[in-house]
Amino acid sequence: MVKVRERKPTSLTKDKSIEQFGNEADGATPQLDPNAKHDFKSIRVSFNEFEYEKLVKAAELSGRSKVNFLRYAMLKIGAEEEQ
């Protein structure tokens, strides 16, 4: 007879799932982790040549990658708009 093994959740997974269940039951919005992996959504952004060259130059001047520069700018402007 074959024994079917089930994957046991780690305490971290278990804690997150319990917290998520509690938040959904209370109707509360979950707290988002600003340092979470970047695997939730992705978008494709089209640039013209002028915009792309500006992005490349700005990223080089700031010492960031192009994607990191876009994230940084989005978060900075978003924080300014919330004030």
Q: What is the per-residue pLDDT across 2-60, written as a single tens digit (0 to 9) for each?
A: 888 887 666 555 677 777 777 677 666 667 888 889 888 999 999 999 999 999 999 99
pTM across the whole model: 0.62
Q: What angle do helix axes 49-62 and 66-82 make, rounded to 10 degrees?
A: 90
pLDDT at 77 > cutoff 90: yes
The class level of CATH for 41-83 reads mainly alpha
Whole-Å CA distances, 61 to 50, 57, 69: 17, 6, 10
Answer whether 68's CB lies under 8 Å from 83's CB: no
Confidence of residue 83 (pLDDT cuts 50, 70, 90): confident
Residue 63: per-residue pLDDT: 97
Domain extent listing, the chain: 41-83
